[in-house]
Amino acid sequence: MKRYSRAELIAFLRHIDSLLTERAVLDVIGGAAAVLKYGARAPMKDIDTWNRVPKAVRAAAAAVAAIGHGVPLAPVSPPGWVGSR
């Protein structure tokens, strides 16, 4: 399984941002948040999010993945939570 460095995560998120035509919120949690915010060094296999990934973000992520620079987005929520998958 591919692991992504801090630089790859940042490049992926910036590329998504450049493709968005509307405002979108992506709450990053877990290891990816530690890597992005605090400089943790462990490479990540995905980006955990605390919300459903907005349609516009999913579309932009798919476009980035299509050119070989994608990072999986993984929505996470507590079992039974109203917003859970």
pLDDT above 90 (res 79): no
Please report whether residue 85 resides in a domain.
no
Cα–Cα distance for residue pair 20/47, rounded to 1 Å:
18
User: pLDDT tens for residues 40-59?
Assistant: 999 999 999 987 888 999 99
CA distances from 34 to 1, 9, 42, 47, 72 (A): 20, 12, 9, 11, 17
Average pLDDT, the chain: 88
Q: What is the span of the domain harbouring residue 19?
A: 6-75
Please report whether residue 84 resides in a domain.
no
Please report whether residue 57 resides in a domain.
yes
Please report whether residue 66 resides in a domain.
yes
Predicted local distance difference test score (pLDDT) of residue 78 = 62
Please report whether residue 81 resides in a domain.
no
Q: How many domains does the chain have?
A: 1
Please report whether residue 55 resides in a domain.
yes
Please report whether residue 17 resides in a domain.
yes
Please report whether residue 20 resides in a domain.
yes
